[in-house]
Structure 1
Amino acid sequence: MKTIKTIIIDDEPLAIEVIENLASQIPFLEIIGSFQHPLDAILFLQNNEVDLVFCDIEMPQINGLEIVKFLEKSPIFIMITAYRDFAIDSFEVGVFDYLVKPVRMDRFLKAVNKAKEFIGLKSHSEIQQVNDDRIFIKTEGKLVKILLHEIVYIEAQGDYLKFVLKDQSYSTQATLKSIEETLVFQSFFRVQRSFIINLEAVRSIHGNLVELTTGTQISIAPNKKEELLRLLGIK
């Protein structure tokens, strides 16, 4: 069973411990980080793949709802708070579920099972066939062949992937995680949580930006730059 990569955000250490204890009883939940400071959590979310976030609402510096609105592409958020008054605001910004403290195990389990089902639907890929040098994706009701060497980059856009070629692009319902598990990329590299680039399409690197042959500039996650330079043969 594939695990759901999960983090916890709460400024109260005891509240984090409660959620960690509940999550430890769910085999498919993998806690990969716990954060008392919201800004640290945002930085982690921007540079790592996370499926699910348990998040308090009222915190110093920035509250949980503001975190959801701040992230351009966010994982599933389950808000956990002592106040029922935030429920409407939570759902208006796209929060997946809303738990009131103290969290009961039965309610917690219901929320994570619903999240698991949703994540499973999101990860369903419309990549129909794979060979060593090509893929077939389902887009606009038809199967389209894409030669891997023609791909400049792949971008995650919500529940879809955008395959950008030299002179055209295609979108299909899939996630970067699912395509990484499906395809063996010999000349592709994931430079950050939303982009996979073709190493052969790299035109230049300036600071933490990589420019591709289409002129597109993509930011490189700080923990990815050294590996990218190594793959490009740059010392």
Structure 2
Amino acid sequence: MRKLPMDRKIRCIIVDDEPLARKVLVKLTEQIDQLEVVAVCANAVDAFCHLQKGNIDLVFLDIKMPKINGLELLESLNPAPLVVFTTAYREFAIKAFELDAIDYLLKPISMGRFMKTIAKANKFLSGQSTSKTEQHPPEPKTVDEPEQLYIKTQRKVIKLDLSHITYLESLNDKVILHTSNNEITTSQRIGHLADKLPKERFVRIHRSFMIAVDKVSAFNSIMVEINGKELPIGRNYRSHVLDLLQKELD
């Protein structure tokens, strides 16, 4: 690991296929004068091209991306800059640290947690630390933070990973859970399901819709967009929803 000159900023790139996630990371980096964002990439191929030019100190890297994921990108780099994984998925933490990532940030990322990560990066780049074995995976989930949801369907009970849910849609006497690759229909009410979902990760935007906050790709005062589909924001929910989404950008 090369030592960073004291008078030079930490040159970093952001790699994430979700527009909102990229905006959040840009906002976080803008609040730390020591960071200089050299590039913001929507996929691993663009990131690889920037990294081949050299002179990049730090990469904020999403894991689940189309074609080439973040783990595969890191494995292809030799030598590699410092890498911080930014993801909504806990299950890749061990693999990430096996690849010598210096940190693993779970979305949504708070400013306080982000600052701790930059402090770690600064220790490496300033030569104060030479070993990555001091780093540790994210804290284990607590009882109040479930990672699965049990869904009653017509014929069976399905255990669904929360990270796969994009949004819930209430339709007549059923609820459709839209996931990253399919749909699950249940007779359970949307209000009942809402009580079981972590409030920091899911929010009701309409009497008929509840969304996963980290799956939002765009929004305005009347709708959110997830996977190319526009979902309405109800008038009674608008203030809370917009406040929550805006916090992701602040």
Give TM-score scaled by structure 2 length: 0.48
Q: CA deviation at 1:43?
A: 1.1
Alignment of 1:1-235 (within 5 A): 1-121=7-127
One-letter amino acid matched to 2:15: I
Q: State the 1:40 CA deviation.
A: 1.0
Percent sequence identity over aligned pairs: 45
Unaligned 5+ segments in structure 2 are 1-6, 131-250
Letter in 2 for 1:102: P
Q: Are 2:12 and 2:56, in contact at CA under 8 Å, matched by a contact in 1? A: yes
Q: Tell me the alpha carbon deviations over residues 151-181 of structure 1, each in whole angstroms, 9 at most, x when there is no partner.
A: xxxxxxxxxxxxxxxxxxxxxxxxxxxxxxx
Distance 1:74 1:122, change over 3 A: farther
Whole-angstrom distance in 1 between the partners of 2:43 and 2:62: 11
Q: What is the Cα deviation at residue 94 of structure 1?
A: 1.1
Q: 1:96 and 1:62 mapped to 2: Cα distance?
A: 21
CA distance in 1 between counterparts of 2:45 and 2:129 reads: 28
Determine if contact 2:123/2:129 at 8 Å carries over to the other structure.
no
For 1:121, what is the secondary structure of its paired residue?
A: coil
Deviation >3 Å, runs of 4+: none
Following superposition, the deviation at residue 2 of structure 1 comes to 2.1
Secondary structure at 1:27's aligned position in 2?
coil
1:74 aligned partner, one-letter code: A
Give the whole-Å Cα distance in 2 for the aligned partners of 1:121 and 1:3.
15
Deviations 1:114-163 (A, max 9, x none): 10111110899xxxxxxxxxxxxxxxxxxxxxxxxxxxxxxxxxxxxxxx
Q: CA RMSD in A?
A: 1.7
Counterparts of 2:50 and 2:8, CA distance in 1: 21
Q: Secondary structure at the match of 1:115?
A: helix
Change (3 A) 1:30 1:59: same
C-alpha contact 2:82 2:121 (8 A) present in aligned 1:
yes
Q: C-alpha distance in 1, partners of 2:93/2:37?
A: 25
Q: What is the TM-score of this pair, normalised by structure 1?
A: 0.51
Alpha-carbon distance in 1 for matches of 2:41, 2:125: 23
Provide the residue aligned with 1:172 in structure 2.
Answer: none
How many residue pairs align between the two structures? 124
CA shift for structure 1 position 24: 0.3
SS for the counterpart of 1:7 is strand
CA 20–27 in structure 1, closer or farther in 2 if over 3 Å, else same:
same
